[in-house]
Structure 1
């Protein structure tokens, strides 16, 4: 009895000691950036599920970047904290893909006007589902790096340079097999990766402008419930064929012929 009690106490202490280490190893527990970039090239990288913060001035362009894989529907939310005294300000949240094409929002308040002396303004943009492949002429969202740009538009002259704070959070919902398409990109749209591959230098990562990727790696959405439904449909079709054959083939015994006189 004493041995089992001592063993239980040791295991409990071991679990308490390992708890903080496990939390530190959690990628989502890693510190999010506390500053934003001023252009596409200097955009601060944030992961899905992280909340990034930044301090700036009214009139600045604030940039962040995040990864999005096939089958995901990203949602970007931003909160701008305004100074106590200011005029009415209009803030806008724009999202661009790896080719720097502006992506439309399915829904969400992408542009909002904060009343004079309002404490904050909240913006949101729900993108379309990222497709694994698309026609070259289409503007569909594709796997790769996405950029968030936050700025004030039509800012009054008296508000230029006023200190502001910003919080940006990116989440993504997995849409499953309903968003699956035939075909896949050879490489995700990560700026700089194509240049590095073309140079033939796989070790040099200095040319890659964005190093962040999804938690499970790129093309993590190759498996979806579309495969399950396809297999279930095939199985049901096979069972229906077997059942139909069993019903129509008869008993298999030849009809009895009366003996001839």
Structure 2
């Protein structure tokens, strides 16, 4: 009876703790609707259009232009960037490429995905994709690991016939992330996310002088703000292991301690 109680408690603890941990492994929810999604793209890093994850941004441009967007990615996320370009009715073969840079403007390698694709002559559209490595909460200064902060998306052609230069195209870009969870957690975090200063805003104090203006990093950040980097579901599973180890010790004690009373010691022994 006691062993049944012990293992019942263990299963209850396991079920309660595994619930939130399992929720962390699901992809991040996408905001409903794209009514507020941007309809233009920047032409450089400094003018990159900010987009939110889960929303589809659109832009009209000319073949040969460099199109830039930026988005925020936090620790333990694995961002996926997908871009689709609708081409003119008639055109020669052309190659499109999507590149992703972090807040320090370091080009990030794609873990997988067709980063570069060639549209055959007369094709209606071309789609490129880049799945980044998991964003780490901390890394060595010399490493090139993805870190929390702003990421830039650059979409352009890399091989183009002169006759197609300047022809109108329509592009769509969408960024989504998968929450990888504690398997990618590290023992450390950045003091601040890698977000460059791109704007100046006034404090809400009714003043409009220089002393009332403070520099801000960026207008975009993940839902719920930037993660501090110390929490992950790895703590949940560590707690589960500790509880199960304690329950196993109690169970072993119950099984081995015996049920009989110790013999009485004779008087005078």
Interval containing the TM-score (normalised by the shorter chain): 0.7 to 0.9
- Structure 1 gap ranges (5+): 1-25
Name whichever of 220-229 and 151-160 sits farther off.
220-229
Q: Determine the C-alpha separation between the residues in 2 that align with 1:161 and 1:179.
A: 44
Matching of residues 1-261 of structure 1 within 5 Å: 30-192=35-197, 204-206=213-215, 208=217, 210-219=218-227, 222-251=230-259, 253-256=261-264
User: Cα deviation per residue 1:43-92 (whole Å; 9 max; x = unaligned)?
Assistant: 00000001001111111100000000011111100001111121100000
- Structure 2 gap ranges (5+): 1-30, 202-209
Q: Is the 8 A contact 2:189 2:228 kept in 1?
A: no
Q: Is the 8 A contact 1:73 1:126 kept in 2?
A: yes
Instruction: Name the structure 2 match of 1:13.
Output: none
Q: Is the 8 A contact 1:28 1:49 kept in 2?
A: no
- Higher helix residue share: 1
Structure 2 CA distance for partners of 1:86 and 1:70, relative to 1, 3 Å: same
By how many angstroms is 1:27 displaced?
8.0
TM-score, normalization: structure 1? 0.80
Q: Determine the C-alpha separation between the residues in 2 that align with 1:180 and 1:55.
A: 40
Structure 2 CA distance for partners of 1:73 and 1:192, relative to 1, 3 Å: same
Structure 2 CA distance for partners of 1:205 and 1:87, relative to 1, 3 Å: farther
User: Cα deviation per residue 1:9-32 (whole Å; 9 max; x = unaligned)?
Assistant: xxxxxxxxxxxxxxxxx7865511
Q: Determine the C-alpha separation between the residues in 1 that align with 2:211 and 2:188.
A: 25
- The number of residue pairs the alignment matches comes to 229
Instruction: Name the structure 2 match of 1:4.
Output: none
Q: Determine the C-alpha separation between the residues in 1 that align with 2:215 and 2:266.
A: 94
